[in-house]
């Protein structure tokens, strides 16, 4: 069925209805798209022959990645962490900072195939001094992928950020082969680097219970990590002073010991007047570091051994 759910977080019809309706026609939030809707704007416009743009501007589903991967091999960063750890808000803040003209180190902004997706994240980010209203939770069945096209010198780099629900990572952390952890497996398999979100607010409230969940995810990240970088993102860092010092130190030590290519950083959406390091600088520093570790300049020079033969075909070197 063609159409769209009124709830922007629901990925139906591409994925099952978030309310569990098997037939979308029974879902009160689903709006079926009709031919009339397609031509709803001015008759003069719709009477003409139109070419449809091959990307929607919204966040990509995994089956749509060819929109980007057909032109380059994108770099994917997996955003990993339990539910409500601030993963989606982080992306919203990144785009808000971009809209304000801030830029990633060493890169020029060349565009994005998911501009409406980013723009919606920005729209949903609600800040006020002293508290933050977070966007609605990411649906369990959803893996939204956001794209940035960045230019480094004269090279185009397509960078993707996967924003999957925290629940799938919690499930995956316990059993990586769980039927309900397919999205987490996809993110783990395909990512070039990871942001591991550590929710300071949860640590302050739930103490060792929250630590246990973080470390389960962290240990699962390790099983086939190879040389992929991991950065621990201490989110809602304005609540860090409320976290027990020994708990904080233990987590820091354990994570550092776990990952071969590792860094840590504190971020927050809590806004103070004027330049604010954990809001402005560190949100970008997370991506700066992952990009730096993921894009390794190749020192290798391709050496071609001389071909010692009289064969004209094998000796051909083009127009030298």
Partner 1 sequence: MSRQILIIGKPHSGKTTFLAQLYGRLETGVNEMKLYESVANLTPIIEALKCLAAGEEVKATPTDRVTGIILPISRKGEKIDVYCPDYGGEQINHIIENREVSDNWIESIMQSDNWLLFIRPSNVDTSFDLSNKTLTPESLEKVQNQQDEYTITDQSAYIELLQILLYLKGHDAHTVNTTCKLTIVLTCWDEVRDEDYPYQKLQRILPLFTRFIEGNWIQENINVVGMSALGFSLKEGNNREKFLTQGPENFGYLVLPDGSEVTDITQLISLAI
Q: What residues contact 238, with CB distance under 8 A and at least 6 apart?
A: 200, 268, 270, 278
Task: Please identify, using beta-carbon distances, which residue of 72 and 315 lies nearer to partner 1.
Answer: 72
Q: Are 202 and 163 in contact (CB under 8 A)?
A: no
Interaction mask 150-189, partner 1, x per CB under 8 A: -x--xxx---------------------------------
Residues 6+ positions from 1 with CB-CB distance below 8 Å? 13, 24, 25, 30, 32
Binding window for partner 1 (CB under 8 A); candidates: 16-24, 50-58, 230-238, 243-251: 50-58
Give bridge partners of residue 155 from the DSSP assignment: 152
Distance between CA atoms of 60 and 87, rounded to whole angstroms?
17
Is there a contact between 9 and 138 (Cβ–Cβ < 8 Å)? yes
2 contributes a contact to partner 1 by CB under 8 A: no
CA distances from 240 to 103, 160, 179, 248, 285 (A): 27, 29, 35, 9, 19
- Binding residue for partner 1, selected from 24, 79, 94, 125, defined by CB under 8 A: 125
Residue 128 found at the interface with partner 1 (CB under 8 A): yes
Residue 115 CB, shortest distance to partner 1, in Å, is 5
Q: Which of 110/175 has CB closer to partner 1?
A: 110
DSSP state, 241?
A: G
252 contributes a contact to partner 1 by CB under 8 A = no
Q: Which of 35, 100, 223, 297 binds partner 1 (CB under 8 A)?
A: 100
**At its nearest, how many Å lie between partner 1 and the CB of residue 305?**
31
Stretch touching partner 1 by CB under 8 A, among 14-22, 41-49, 226-234, 243-251: 41-49
Q: Which of 19, 127, 140, 295 binds partner 1 (CB under 8 A)?
A: 127
DSSP 75-140: EEEEEE--TTSSHHHHHHHHHHHHHTT---TT-EEEE-TTHHHHHHHHHH-EEETTEEEPPPPPPT
Tell me: does residue 10 bind partner 1 (CB under 8 A).
no
Binding residue (CB under 8 A) for partner 1 from 8, 21, 62, 170: 8
Q: Are 171 and 178 in contact (CB under 8 A)?
A: yes
Site residue total, partner 1 (CB under 8 A): 49
Tokens of 306: 């001389």
Instruction: From 36-44, 137-145, 174-182, 236-244, give the range in contact with partner 1 by CB under 8 A.
Output: 36-44
Residue 169 phi, psi (nearest 5):
-75, -35
Query: Which residues, numbered 258-317, are part of the site for partner 1 (CB under 8 A)?
Result: 271
Q: Which residues are at the interface with partner 1 (CB under 8 A)?
A: 8, 38, 41-45, 48-53, 56-57, 71-72, 96-101, 103, 108-112, 115-116, 118-120, 122-129, 133, 149, 151, 154-156, 271
């Amino acid at each position: 069925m063609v159409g769209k759910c009124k709830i922007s977080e629901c990925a139906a019809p591409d994925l099952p209805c978030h309310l569990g309706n098997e037939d979308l026609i029974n879902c009160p939030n689903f709006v079926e798209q009709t031919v009339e809707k397609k031509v709803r704007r001015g008759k003069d416009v719709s009477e003409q022959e139109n070419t449809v743009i091959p990307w929607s501007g919204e966040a990509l589903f995994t089956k749509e990645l060819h929109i980007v991967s057909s032109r380059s091999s994108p770099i994917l960063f997996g955003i990993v962490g339990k539910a409500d750890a601030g993963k989606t808000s982080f992306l919203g803040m990144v785009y808000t900072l971009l809209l304000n003209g801030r830029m990633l180190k060493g890169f020029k902004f060349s565009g994005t195939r998911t501009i409406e997706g980013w723009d919606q994240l920005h729209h949903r980010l609600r800040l006020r001094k002293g508290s933050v209203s977070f966007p609605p939770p990411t649906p369990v069945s959803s893996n939204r992928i956001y794209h940035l096209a960045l230019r480094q010198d004269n090279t185009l780099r397509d960078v993707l950020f996967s924003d999957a629900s925290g629940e799938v990572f919690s499930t995956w952390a316990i059993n990586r082969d769980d039927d309900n952890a397919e999205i987490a497996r996809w993110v783990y398999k395909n990512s070039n680097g990871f942001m591991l979100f550590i929710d300071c607010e949860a640590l302050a409230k739930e103490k060792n219970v929250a630590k246990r969940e973080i470390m389960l995810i962290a240990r699962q990240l390790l099983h086939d990590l190879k040389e992929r970088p991991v950065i621990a993102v201490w989110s809602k860092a304005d609540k860090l002073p409320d976290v027990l010092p020994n708990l904080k130190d233990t987590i820091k030590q354990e994570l550092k010991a776990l990952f071969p290519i590792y860094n840590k950083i504190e971020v927050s959406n809590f806004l103070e007047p004027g330049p604010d390091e954990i809001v402005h600088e560190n949100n970008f520093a997370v991506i700066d570091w992952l990009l730096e570790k993921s894009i390794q300049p190749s020192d290798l020079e391709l050496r071609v051994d001389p071909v010692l033969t009289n064969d004209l075909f094998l000796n051909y070197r083009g127009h030298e």
